[in-house]
Structure 1
């Protein structure tokens, strides 16, 4: 049996992949890594420095910011990696609609993707992990032990995202969230660097008509078969 095991979970925004990834990681006591939070942290840093206000992001300035600030993780009591900026927990700050609306702009910059790739490799070294994102099974870990692609319809994903946002953003409409997700999908699928694709040899699961627990149960059965080989 292998000493380490890598499970990748890709899919579009609000497909449920992060919630599912956390539960799968908890079941196996593996380290969960939310790769999207790295891009969100970079977007948050860009927003704090007014880089999102212009049509074109000043990439050189953003790279300079990254070189002079520290984006990292700390492992909490649930064995989850919490994203920090200069050792300050920014999990809540990176989940706002402002960050969601701009993160795909930042994520399509090749120098940013290279930066994130190095972080992903570093934090996953010598440990069993569950990592979710857009290009984890296709680019970051193409030889992962098990690869999943979690999908859902735009309508279902928009309702899920709206339910999350309405707690803190009372004026946000379902229509706005739907449009934002539609545009984000278009950027993710069509970007030149690491576009959102269904990874080769991945197991595709549509979550429209299943509960989270049902999806996780199905995935665990499939993973167990791989682990026992």
Structure 2
């Protein structure tokens, strides 16, 4: 088997992206953060003033996206960065305003179809680790290896707060917790590709485990499955 696909799903700030990056590096394969694509779409909608009275103007957004370029491009260090119309937006997509609205954008079927094409096109003829919220259940239901990573809301809130506090000094941990719970509700209850534990996935709660401990569990699991498939 020349190429294989590893999927990592879980709620926001569960640590899945960090684990996905490190796992891909250990396996010497490509890491794709699918959440960054949804974040880029959300940023683009905000930049084009398509949020009106708390709701996005979806028809206008779909029309603008059809004439725009949203892509992951590899830099000189071999790291893939999110680009909108050839401009690097990797830092901009990580802000709290984008985080607050990304689940609202992601619940729309036409947006998910738009992102799905990008996800599958990037992954053609490659071995990849991709993380997100519907990767093992919908994007790659036949993936070779699947994981579901979870943490308590307390752990996730602290983790997300520590990520954001250097950029947003006035942000409180209670605000972060509220936003995470709101995103969970949308992600788990949306009609199109809700956040679920994918069939045949290995569930890992990382509340009381270090990143290295979880990474070793994941590496052993991947190697076990891949070795069986190639033997």
When normalised by structure 2's length, the TM-score is 0.97
In the TM superposition, what is the alpha-carbon distance from 1:76 to its structure 2 partner? 3.0
Per the alignment, residue 218 of structure 1 pairs with 217
In the TM superposition, what is the alpha-carbon distance from 1:111 to its structure 2 partner? 0.4
Cα deviations across residues 29-51 of structure 1 (Å, max 9, x unaligned)? 11110000000000000000111
Query: What is the rounded CA distance, in whole Å, between the counterparts of 1:84 and 1:214 in structure 2?
Result: 33
Cα deviations across residues 78-113 of structure 1 (Å, max 9, x unaligned)? 543211111111110000000000000000011000
Query: What is the rounded CA distance, in whole Å, between the counterparts of 2:213 and 2:75 in structure 1?
Result: 26
Per the alignment, residue 103 of structure 2 pairs with 104
Per the alignment, residue 194 of structure 2 pairs with 195
Query: What is the rounded CA distance, in whole Å, between the counterparts of 1:159 and 1:227 in structure 2?
Result: 35
In the TM superposition, what is the alpha-carbon distance from 1:157 to its structure 2 partner? 0.1
Secondary structure in structure 2 of the residue aligned to 1:123: helix
- Unaligned runs of 5+ residues in structure 2 are none
Per the alignment, residue 170 of structure 1 pairs with 169
Per the alignment, residue 67 of structure 1 pairs with 66
Query: What is the rounded CA distance, in whole Å, between the counterparts of 1:83 and 1:25 in structure 2?
Result: 18
RMSD, aligned CA: 0.9
Per the alignment, residue 31 of structure 2 pairs with 32
Query: What is the rounded CA distance, in whole Å, between the counterparts of 1:78 and 1:27 in structure 2?
Result: 16
Per the alignment, residue 21 of structure 2 pairs with 22
Q: Deviation above 4 Å: which 4+ runs of structure 1?
A: none
Per the alignment, residue 81 of structure 2 pairs with 82
Cα deviations across residues 101-126 of structure 1 (Å, max 9, x unaligned)? 00000000110000001110100000
Equivalent pairs, count? 228
Query: What is the rounded CA distance, in whole Å, between the counterparts of 2:199 and 2:142 in structure 1?
Result: 10
Query: What is the rounded CA distance, in whole Å, between the counterparts of 2:145 and 2:53 in structure 1?
Result: 40
In the TM superposition, what is the alpha-carbon distance from 1:52 to its structure 2 partner? 2.2
Check whether the contact 1:10–1:133 (CA below 8 A) recurs between aligned residues.
yes
Per the alignment, residue 147 of structure 2 pairs with 148
- Unaligned runs of 5+ residues in structure 1 are none
Per the alignment, residue 50 of structure 1 pairs with 49
Secondary structure in structure 2 of the residue aligned to 1:7: strand
Secondary structure in structure 1 of the residue aligned to 2:56: coil
Query: What is the rounded CA distance, in whole Å, between the counterparts of 2:95 and 2:133 in structure 1?
Result: 19
Check whether the contact 1:30–1:79 (CA below 8 A) recurs between aligned residues.
no
Query: What is the rounded CA distance, in whole Å, between the counterparts of 1:97 and 1:53 in structure 2?
Result: 18
Per the alignment, residue 184 of structure 1 pairs with 183
Query: What is the rounded CA distance, in whole Å, between the counterparts of 1:67 and 1:54 in structure 2?
Result: 24
